[in-house]
Amino acid sequence: MTPERRGTAGPVAAVAFSASSVQAGAAVGATLFPAIGPFGVTAMRQVVSAVVLLAIARPPLRRIGARRLLPAVLLGLVLVAMNFSLYSAVQRIGLGLAVTVEFLGPLAVALLGARATGRREALGRVACGLLALGGVVLITDPFTGARPDAVGLALGGAAAVLWAAYILLNQRAGSLPGVTGTAVASLTGTVLTLPVLVVLLAALPAEELAHVLLVGAVTGVLSSALPYSIDLLVLRRMPRTLFGMLQSLHPVAAAAFGFLVLRQVLVAPQLAGVAAVCLANVLAVLATRRR
């Protein structure tokens, strides 16, 4: 293995682990929907992430200054909106399908991350976009005559836009030392969501509270504190387009953990749709890297 490949192997493995952690946490968190709903799970993620990351980072906020912290604060707003949109979509259309639709955001970053140098490359990007669109059509399973949940798909689309914003803002927040950017983003999300979470937890029966807190803590570590920190650090060593390509692992991991944890089974056309969206992303970024 060449030194260049050895230098890339570590970040690639880190992104693969991050994707698996996010989707495992999302599947575990979805089990709390009957108790506290999608917003409650989102809030639990933010609180746990903030507690863990602030304890690790201990960011010198006054010394850094408000101007440098602004991208991290904006990242916190995006994270809350993205996670709430995604969980609301998961509640309606399942984890694997929701994450596949959400994945159109990183795909857009990959397609638009660099200017096309000629007609051939431009046509290739259009073909990748059409392949991804065909994948989205397939995940609605049009062959059985079942009507897709339009609201669930729209929520997944909103999460896609927010995921693209997350990638862009995470690079800006990565200029802060250590995991300060992620810690500040989580703190921002906690300030926004904690009041509602307190109300939701107070309404729970006493015998359910300990279970919800435990599962929520696991969800927060797996879905937020651990993977977001990994992503922030990896983006310092990896081009944005390559990072976008590796996000192809998210729909695959989501389908796997949706089946293992939530017993959500995808039919053959839906699996083909997931594969088409992932393939479109890989082809788009490979074309960009060749250029």
Distance set, CA 42 to CA 87, 89, 106, 190 (Å): 8, 13, 21, 10
Which residues are CB-neighbours of 165 under 8 A, at least 6 positions away? 78, 82, 105
Cβ neighbours of 17 (radius 10 Å): 14
Say how far apart CA 248 and CA 245 lie, in whole Å.
6
Q: What is the pLDDT of residue 80?
A: 93
pLDDT lower than 70: segments of the chain: 1-8, 59-66, 113-118, 145, 171-179, 240-241, 244, 285, 287-291
Sequence-ordered alpha helix ranges (H) in 32-94: 33-57, 61-64, 66-93
Q: Is position 16 within any domain?
A: yes
Q: What is the pLDDT of residue 117?
A: 63
Q: Is position 33 within any domain?
A: yes
Q: What is the pLDDT of residue 287?
A: 65
Could you tell me the pTM of the whole model? 0.85
| Contact between residue 108 and residue 160 where contact means Cβ atoms under 8 Å apart | yes
Give the max Cα distance, the chain. Answer: 64
Q: Is position 284 within any domain?
A: no
Q: How many CA atoms within 13 Å lie on the side-chain side of 183?
A: 16
Q: What is the pLDDT of residue 91?
A: 95
Residue 95, both tokens: 């984890």
Cβ neighbours of 244 (radius 10 Å): 27
Residue 103, both tokens: 């994945």
Q: Is position 187 within any domain?
A: yes
Q: What is the pLDDT of residue 81?
A: 95
Q: Is position 142 within any domain?
A: no
Cβ neighbourhood burial of 269 (10 Å; 0-12, 13-18, 19+): middle
pLDDT digits (tens, 9 = 90+) for 180-214: 777 788 888 999 999 999 999 999 999 999 999 99
Q: Is position 32 within any domain?
A: yes
How many domains does one find in the chain? 1
Q: What is the pLDDT of residue 177?
A: 59
Helix-helix angle 119-139:104-112, to 10 degrees: 180
Q: What is the pLDDT of residue 290?
A: 52
Q: Is position 64 within any domain?
A: yes
* Residue-range definition of the domain harbouring residue 152: 3-117+147-266
Cβ neighbours of 208 (radius 10 Å): 14
By C-alpha distance, which of 252, 280, 286 is closest to 100? 252
Q: What is the pLDDT of residue 179?
A: 66
